[in-house]
């Protein structure tokens, strides 16, 4: 059903949640917010474009979920508590049914994490979603990329390669169980906040493990050695891909939105107990080294060569 821009904005406004720290929400030239005194504000922005960041014909509720999830994942990687977000939405045509379904997905995830939509705009254009997410973190306790030390363990939450596996299977098996990991990634917000006291560095796995861990190494001026056989795989991924095909998906596939973090070896037990408390798989996959760059080794200890080192949008 076609309708006007102001009708679409009214639909968003009617359903956007609120919080005590929102002085003025959607409906003016800008939102007015009251940041908590003494804490830092973590701010991140990520865009999803149709056909680039999600397949064409993805369900609108899944698009809504993912547009917020990739931004919550960045807040998680900082150890931040989600608070507010803006949404800029470009749509080829006005469509209230699409908008309602999109909001179903976006607001379901927003509600899980107590983040409120406070502004944005709706314009005509090729399907594109730009979200800016804001959260709070105590001064000095954010999980940055630049704190890894030689000797630290390297860890990863959840399983790797599922989203990349779903993309490989997309044409043949569009409804494969792995598809849900591509369409509805789980931002590791609780894990990130709990890790703020334990991890020395953290990044979310959006471009692929080796590429993202490479960002930690570059910012921390260290290297890393990753043990390919230790990389965690889901049952669904193991069923769908053999031992030859799987490592590339796990080490270089993007879009998993797990957290890769480093921590002193003395924290192993505390990390295990945190994982148990959160009911979240957390796997030790390697070690930070002096030097630079990420080296991956196979079961025989030989250097493993990835087919590519992450997703470069202009590569």
Residues 138-167 that bind a copy of itself (CB under 8 A): 139, 142, 144-146
Distance of CA 220 to the CA centre of its chain: 21
CA distance 204 to 186: 11
To the nearest whole angstrom, how small is the minimum distance from the Cβ of residue 148 to a copy of itself?
Answer: 13
Span of 105-113, 124-132, 159-167, 265-273 interacting with a copy of itself by CB under 8 A: 124-132
Residue of 185, 199, 173 lying closest to 275 (CA atoms): 199
Span of 46-54, 102-110, 175-183, 287-295 interacting with a copy of itself by CB under 8 A: 46-54
Among 118, 194, 233, 251, binds a copy of itself (CB under 8 A): 118
| Locus of tokens 């030689």 | 150
Q: Which of residues 59-98 bind a copy of itself (CB under 8 A)?
A: 74-75, 77-78, 80, 84, 86-88, 90-91, 93-94
CA distance 28 to 22: 13
Give Cα separations from 38 to 34, 79, 133, 137, 138 (angstroms). Answer: 12, 16, 19, 10, 8
Quick note: the x/- pattern for a copy of itself over 283-312, rule CB under 8 A, is: -----------------------------x
To the nearest whole angstrom, how small is the minimum distance from the Cβ of residue 44 to a copy of itself?
Answer: 4
Q: Does 122 bind a copy of itself (CB under 8 A)?
A: yes
Q: Does 229 bind a copy of itself (CB under 8 A)?
A: no
Among 62, 162, 204, 256, binds a copy of itself (CB under 8 A): 204
- C-beta closer to a copy of itself: residue 31 or 237: 31
Rg for the chain (alpha carbons), in Å?
Answer: 20
Span of 32-40, 105-113, 157-165, 278-286 interacting with a copy of itself by CB under 8 A: 32-40
SS3 53: coil
Among 11, 15, 17, 47, binds a copy of itself (CB under 8 A): 47
**Phi and psi, residue 159, nearest 5°:** -125, 160
Q: Does 20 bind a copy of itself (CB under 8 A)?
A: no
- C-beta closer to a copy of itself: residue 120 or 185: 120
- C-beta closer to a copy of itself: residue 53 or 179: 53
CA distance 156 to 208: 12
Tokens of 289: 């080294």
Number of residues counted as binding a copy of itself (CB under 8 A)? 72
Q: Does 186 bind a copy of itself (CB under 8 A)?
A: no
Q: Does 217 bind a copy of itself (CB under 8 A)?
A: no
**Which residues make beta-bridge pairs with 131?**
46, 87
Beta strands 259-263 and 153-157 are antiparallel
| Locus of tokens 């954010």 | 142
Query: What's the CA angle centered on 126, arms 125 and 132, to 5 degrees?
Result: 80
């Amino acid at each position: 059903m076609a309708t006007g821009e102001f009708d679409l904005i009214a639909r968003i406004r009617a359903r956007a949640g609120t919080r005590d720290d929102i002085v003025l929400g959607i409906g003016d030239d800008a939102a007015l917010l009251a940041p908590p005194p003494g804490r830092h504000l973590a701010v991140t922005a990520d865009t999803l474009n149709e056909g680039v960041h999600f397949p064409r014909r993805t369900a609108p509720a899944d698009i809504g979920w993912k547009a917020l999830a990739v931004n919550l994942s960045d807040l998680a990687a900082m150890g931040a508590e989600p608070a507010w977000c803006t949404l800029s939405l470009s749509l080829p045509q006005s469509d209230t049914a699409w908008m309602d379904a999109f909001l179903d997905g976006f607001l379901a995830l927003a509600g899980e994490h107590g983040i409120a939509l406070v502004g944005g705009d709706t314009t005509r254009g090729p399907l594109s979603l730009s979200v800016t997410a804001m959260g709070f973190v105590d001064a000095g306790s954010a999980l940055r990329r630049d704190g890894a030390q030689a000797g630290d363990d390297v860890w990863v939450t959840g399983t790797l390669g599922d989203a990349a596996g779903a993309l490989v299977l997309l044409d043949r098996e569009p409804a494969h169980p792995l598809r849900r990991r591509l369409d509805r990634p789980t931002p590791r917000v609780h894990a990130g906040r709990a890790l703020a006291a334990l991890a020395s560095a953290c990044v979310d796995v959006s471009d692929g493990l080796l590429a993202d861990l490479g960002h930690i190494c570059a910012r921390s001026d260290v290297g890393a050695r990753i043990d390919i056989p230790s990389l965690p795989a889901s049952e669904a991924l193991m069923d769908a891909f053999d031992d030859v095909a799987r490592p590339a998906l796990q080490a270089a596939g993007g879009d998993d939105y797990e957290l890769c973090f480093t921590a002193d070896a003395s924290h192993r037990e505390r990390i295990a107990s945190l994982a148990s408390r959160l009911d979240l798989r957390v796997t030790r996959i390697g070690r930070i080294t002096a030097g630079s760059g990420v080296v991956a080794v196979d079961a025989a200890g030989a250097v493993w060569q990835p087919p590519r080192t992450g997703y470069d949008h202009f590569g």
